[in-house]
């Protein structure tokens, strides 16, 4: 789902649902390609080429709309005890613009649902391990945000506590995903690993919120996404949107909505994803839930990117 422009960074992505640089945008570090046995050339000689290849897999370099999806499982870790917590079904609407200087701007809206790990049905409440509390699970639909995708960055921002709040009363509301506080984000891309005609590009993001209220716990997430694509497609200048497979993993602190108090622990997530050019090709359950909870997305996907 990473990421956002200054001024909007935290309200959309920071400690939102799953972090998801994977479904948002990322900032590229030094263009490093690890050569596989038999490789004869480095496919991405600079940051601009690496960013363009990533954007072909993440969205499209010609400005056309793309839809991303992620299916994952989240586990809780408490004192060595591992408990299946919930499933994640996430989707994004994105549109990228080539700035002509080796960077892209990408505008993204994310919609995520929490599912029962056994039945796969949408959860309304969840009994948390460690406390036994039954907590209400919020919906998540971000506001549209635009991010500059370019060189490796460290960003300092202020969390408004409004992550995931688009319609008051529909989502859980302020502070459900992150407290108000100072935020530090570190992002990078690479290396690119080549084997035959396949290439894998890894993206990383690490973020922390330092709450303004000293009684609030610090919040963090660390995520890794690996995008797999076809090297000839990525190197072909006539191809604007390349086929891709996504592998995703993340470690996150307890979200405020989980009401975990002083319980020491965190969550771990892993999953797979991809993208499509037609909204109708998104996962059927995501389409059904979005039609029910966010019909505006189904009616005018491009329009919601304009706010």
Q: Is position 19 within any domain?
A: yes
Strands 181-195 and 33-34: parallel
**Residue 185: band (very low, low, confident or very high) from pLDDT cuts 50, 70, 90:** confident
**pLDDT at 159 (0 to 100):** 53
Residue 282 pLDDT > 50? yes
Residue 82 pLDDT > 70? yes
> Chain-centre distance of CA 237, in angstroms?
27
Give the structural domain span for 217. Answer: 9-304
121 vs 205, more confident: 121
**Residue 18: band (very low, low, confident or very high) from pLDDT cuts 50, 70, 90:** very low
Residue 47 pLDDT > 50? yes
Terminal-residue alpha carbon distance, the chain:
17
Q: Is position 186 within any domain?
A: yes
Q: Is position 2 within any domain?
A: no
Residue 223 tokens, joined: 């995520």
Q: Is position 213 within any domain?
A: yes
Burial class (CB in 10 A: 0-12, 13-18, 19+), 264: exposed
- Does the pTM surpass 0.85? The reply is no
Q: Is position 21 within any domain?
A: yes
Q: Is position 32 within any domain?
A: yes
Q: Is position 4 within any domain?
A: no
Residue 204 pLDDT > 80? yes
Question: Which residue, among 227, 156, 153, 216, has the nearest Cα to 9 in the 3D structure?
Answer: 156
Q: What's the number of domains the chain is made of? A: 1
Backbone angles phi and psi of 264, in degrees to 5? -85, 125
Q: Is position 286 within any domain?
A: yes
Residue 144 pLDDT > 80? yes
What CA–CA distance (Å, rounded) separates 56 from 153? Answer: 21
Contact of 193 with 167, CB cutoff 8 Å: no
């Amino acid at each position: 789902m990473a990421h956002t422009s200054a001024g909007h960074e935290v309200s959309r992505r920071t400690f939102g649902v799953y972090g998801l640089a994977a479904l948002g945008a990322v900032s590229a570090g030094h263009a490093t390609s690890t050569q596989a046995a038999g490789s004869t050339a480095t496919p991405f000689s600079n940051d601009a080429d690496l960013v363009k290849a990533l954007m072909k897999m993440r969205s499209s370099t010609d400005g056309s709309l793309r839809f991303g999806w992620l299916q994952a499982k989240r586990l809780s870790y408490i004192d060595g005890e591992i408990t299946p917590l919930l499933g994640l079904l996430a989707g994004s609407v994105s549109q990228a613009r080539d700035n002509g200087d080796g960077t892209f701007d990408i505008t993204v809206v994310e919609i995520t649902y929490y599912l029962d790990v056994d039945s796969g049905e949408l959860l309304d409440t969840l009994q948390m391990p460690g406390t036994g509390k039954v907590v209400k699970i919020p919906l998540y639909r971000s506001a549209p945000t635009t991010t500059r995708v370019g060189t490796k960055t460290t960003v300092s921002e202020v969390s408004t506590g409004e992550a995931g709040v688009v319609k008051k009363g529909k989502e859980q509301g302020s502070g459900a995903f992150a407290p108000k506080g100072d935020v530090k984000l570190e992002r990078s891309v690479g290396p690119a690993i080549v084997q035959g005609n396949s290439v894998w590009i890894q993206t990383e993001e690490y973020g922390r919120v330092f709450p303004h209220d000293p009684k609030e716990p610090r919040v963090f997430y660390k995520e890794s996404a690996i995008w797999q694509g076809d090297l000839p497609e990525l190197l072909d200048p006539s191809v604007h949107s390349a086929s891709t497979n996504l592998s995703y993993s993340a470690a996150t602190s307890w979200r405020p909505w989980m009401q975990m108090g002083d319980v020491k622990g965190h969550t771990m997530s892993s999953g797979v994803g991809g993208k499509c050019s037609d909204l109708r090709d998104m996962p059927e359950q995501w389409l059904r839930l979005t039609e029910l909870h966010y019909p505006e997305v189904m009616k005018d996907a491009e329009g919601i990117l304009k706010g």
